[in-house]
Structure 1
Amino acid sequence: MPRPTAHHAWNFDIDRYLNPIVPSPPWRVIPYPVAHFLGYRRTKPTNTGNVMPAFWAFIGIFCAIIIVQVVSMHIPAFESHHAPAIVGSFGATAVLEFYAIESPLAQPRNTFLGQLLASVIGVGVAKLFLLGGVARFAGVQYVGGALACAATTALMALTKTVHPPAGATALLAVVDDRLLGLGWFLVPVMMLGCALMVAVALVVNNIERRYPVYWWTPDALRPKEPILRRAKEEDPESAPASATTTNEGAAPPPPEDTDHDTAAEGPEVAHCKHDLNEVVIRPGHVLVPHDMFLTQEEAQLLETLSRRL
């Protein structure tokens, strides 16, 4: 088995620098009926099948896309800039916002910041390529589109704001002549569309489901100890006995609740690495093999499962 090179282990966690300055959600001071439609729950939501989510996804997507188009058509600035009633990438956003609502890719942070980065980078790349003249731009327009999409994806990955529809936004900002003509006005167009779509999602998705799972991060904000830590060999949490106990269902009691940036209160999830070739999930703890690398989405999925126990 080839030895991994040094760059394989490079990791940049932007939340390490941002989470200490991000305030905890004020669920305790917001009336519960209001907090309910912001995704907060006093109790854990019940499991559902796929029929009810499909029904509400149909209702939500239908309403959201109509609202975005109607509002856009009645804004004079949109008409004067010849802005489209809706940008095509919002179709993919709608699928995430109303069906895959528990995915990290569908949370408000990813939706807003992902589309913001995409529109800024897309317009910036288009402006840069247009410096060579319109005639020359036509011959390299496809290169600009590829560059915008690639740069957006890389930056979203580093900032934990991955939102797949944003890749389409960055591409369209360069290769779609109508969006190309908007220039920097594309940024407010995208932000308004995101705001309207998330607003509809907060109403529709919280009737019988829960959205968002979190507003900023699934981790506890300002935790007393780091969420992601490497367990020592003598750490009892990494011992096989601990994993066996967990698998048998004898989970330890969860720690005291803290103010999380999550839609429902739950135990803080601590990641511990051990030498067993298995992943162990229990309330407030996720045990993974010592040499196992987790992507952002995989770690967030494990944390979500841990909080449901």
Structure 2
Amino acid sequence: MAPIHHSWNFNIDRFLNPFIPPPPWNHIPYPIAYWFGYRKTKPQGTGNLMPIFWAFLGIFGAIAMIEAVGKHVASFPPHHVPLIVGSFGAAAVLEFYAIESPLAQPRNAIGGQVISAIIGCAVGKLFLLSDNFEDIKWLGGALACASATALMALTKTVHPPAGATALLAVVDPTLIQVGWFLIPVMLLGCSLMLGAALLINNIERQFPVYWWAPEDLRQPNSMFRRRTSKKKAEEAATKPEDASSGDARYVSDVEANAATENELEKEDTIHAADIIIKPGQVIVPEHVYLTQEEQQYLETICKRL
């Protein structure tokens, strides 16, 4: 029997999504919504050379813009703000080349950086209280990076470059002097990079794939489903009270939708290890374990079909 903690799960979207408004694309003229990633039809393929060209152009433009703006912000020199924070280099690779990755979407790109900046600054200030800061700051850097990663994972804002932001906020002498002012610095840089990404990535591609989550926030259930056998589906239909336990949270409305049962009958001929991705639904065998990022990636693919 597996330890009880193996069944622990936390999904912050269950608490946040009811308060997140759906995308306003129906109320915005299509020529404008287009530049925010909204598409009426599936985007056409661009081969593998054009994405490299646009990534080069976007990364060059975004990094140069952040540096140029930073040089002209009057409040930056008094706070010892560097020309650019190093983690923006890694962020640019994600936001201009790996644009379909869940780690590159606005929720992650901005939320992860802000969370990491806050944690990095807090840990740095805490360790600065010690007279032996230079001797123990390596420990503070490890604590900041680990804490930022944990909080990003809990809030579904994992953004790998943000781990570097938390680390640098404690161990980089320049950013230590910046202190809490690092938070607005990161906000400004993230906003500028997102603006550049919306412009460059939507010329021939689509960005972002989603702003908050892959699934439609207006729907009560996620598109992510677990495949169950016909027998188990019938049991679920006769025992609706069991729907809240174990893997039943992934079962797709068996009790209310007879059409789903018909689909399950058709799927009996499909190998039990197959993962099915079709418009509006991802079906995964019960025995297959997927991480949060893998689930998001599958849902992203599902939305693009």
TM-score tier (shorter): 0.7 to 0.9
Does the 8 Å contact 2:198/2:207 carry over to 1? yes
Question: Equivalent residue for 2:294?
Answer: 298
Question: Equivalent residue for 1:20?
Answer: 18
- In the TM superposition, residue 240 of structure 1 has moved relative to its aligned partner by 6.0
51-60 or 4-13, which moves further after superposition? 4-13
Question: Equivalent residue for 1:115?
Answer: 113
Output the amino acid matched with 2:288.
Answer: M
Question: Equivalent residue for 1:56?
Answer: 54
Normalising by structure 2, we get a TM-score of: 0.86
Question: Equivalent residue for 1:188?
Answer: 184
Partner Cα separation in structure 1 for residue 289 and residue 60 of structure 2: 39
Question: Equivalent residue for 1:242?
Answer: 267
Partner Cα separation in structure 2 for residue 308 and residue 186 of structure 1: 36
Normalising by structure 1, we get a TM-score of: 0.85
- In the TM superposition, residue 294 of structure 1 has moved relative to its aligned partner by 1.6
Change (3 A) 1:144 1:238: farther
Output the amino acid matched with 2:196.
Answer: V
Pair 1:200-2:225 in alignment: no
Question: Equivalent residue for 1:261?
Answer: none
Does the 8 Å contact 1:231/1:238 carry over to 2? no
Output the amino acid matched with 1:152.
Answer: A
- Structure 2 residue runs without a partner (length 5+): 234-260
Q: Tell me, what secondary structure is at the counterpart of 1:76?
A: coil
Does the 8 Å contact 2:223/2:282 carry over to 1? no
Pair 1:160-2:156 in alignment: yes
Partner residue of 1:210 out of 183, 206, 212: 206
Change (3 A) 1:188 1:178: same
Q: Tell me, what secondary structure is at the counterpart of 1:45?
A: coil
Q: Tell me, what secondary structure is at the counterpart of 1:77?
A: coil
Identical aligned pairs, as a percentage? 58
Please give the residue correspondences for 1:127-138 in structure 2 after superposition, counting only pairs within 5 Å. 127-133=125-131, 136-138=132-134
- In the TM superposition, residue 228 of structure 1 has moved relative to its aligned partner by 4.5
Pair 1:284-2:280 in alignment: yes
Pair 1:71-2:96 in alignment: no
Question: Equivalent residue for 2:87?
Answer: 89
Output the amino acid matched with 2:103.
Answer: L
Output the amino acid matched with 1:167.
Answer: G
Does the 8 Å contact 2:36/2:207 carry over to 1? yes
Does the 8 Å contact 2:12/2:155 carry over to 1? yes
- What does the per-residue CA deviation read over 1:258-293, in whole Å, with 9 as the maximum and x for residues that have no partner? xxxxxxxxxxxxxxxxx9222112222211111222
- In the TM superposition, residue 139 of structure 1 has moved relative to its aligned partner by 0.7
Paired positions, count: 276
Partner Cα separation in structure 2 for residue 308 and residue 220 of structure 1: 13
Does the 8 Å contact 1:218/1:300 carry over to 2? yes
Output the amino acid matched with 2:94.
Answer: L
- In the TM superposition, residue 41 of structure 1 has moved relative to its aligned partner by 0.5
Q: Tell me, what secondary structure is at the counterpart of 1:207?
A: coil
Partner residue of 2:3 out of 2, 5, 15: 5
Partner Cα separation in structure 1 for residue 226 and residue 194 of structure 2: 37
Output the amino acid matched with 1:61.
Answer: I
Change (3 A) 1:75 1:15: same
Give the helix-richer structure, 1 or 2.
2
Question: Equivalent residue for 1:126?
Answer: 124
Partner Cα separation in structure 1 for residue 102 and residue 14 of structure 2: 18
